Amino acid sequence: MSIKRICTHNGAFHADESLAVWMLKVLPAYKNASVSRSRDPEVWDQADIVVDVSGQYDGKRLFDHHQRGFNEVLEPFTTKLSSAGLIYKHFGREVIQQLLSNHGGNQLSTSDMNVLYNRIYEHFIQALDANDNGINVYPEEVKPLIPTSAITLPGIVSSLNPAWNGDQTDAAQNAMFFQASELMGKAFESRTVYYGLAWLPARSLVKEALQAAAESSTPAILQLSKAMPWKEHLFDLEQELVPEVKPIYVVYPDSGGSWRVQAVPTGPDTFESRKALPEPWRGVRDEDLSSLTGVPGCIFVHASGFIGGAKTNKSALQLATMALDM
The candidate with the shortest Cα–Cα distance to 85, out of 141, 32, 17, is: 17
What pLDDT score does 211 carry?
96
What pLDDT score does 1 carry?
63
Last residue of one domain, picked from the residues 199, 214, 241:
199
What pLDDT score does 271 carry?
84
188 plus 229 within the same structural domain: no
194 plus 285 within the same structural domain: no
pTM to 2 decimal places: 0.90
CA angle 307, 203, 87 (to 5 degrees): 115
Last residue of one domain, picked from the residues 143, 171, 199:
199
Q: For residue 36, what is the enclosing H or E element?
A: strand 34-37
214 plus 191 within the same structural domain: no
133 plus 99 within the same structural domain: yes
What 3-state DSSP class applies to 310?
Answer: strand
Strand partners, 51: 63
Max CA pair span of the chain: 80
241 plus 302 within the same structural domain: yes
CA angle 324, 218, 213 (to 5 degrees): 125
C-alpha span between 277 and 23 (Å, rounded): 45
Last residue of one domain, picked from the residues 199, 221, 241:
199
166 plus 290 within the same structural domain: no
206 plus 179 within the same structural domain: no
271 plus 152 within the same structural domain: no
- What total number of domains does the chain contain? 2
190 plus 236 within the same structural domain: no
The candidate with the shortest Cα–Cα distance to 276, out of 313, 295, 304, is: 304
260 plus 111 within the same structural domain: no
58 plus 179 within the same structural domain: yes
Q: Which domain holds residue 244?
A: 202-324
Strand partners, 34: 5
Ranges under pLDDT 50 in the chain:
none
The candidate with the shortest Cα–Cα distance to 88, out of 53, 116, 68, is: 116
CA angle 144, 147, 153 (to 5 degrees): 110
**pLDDT, tens only, 227-237:** 999 999 999 99
80 plus 163 within the same structural domain: yes
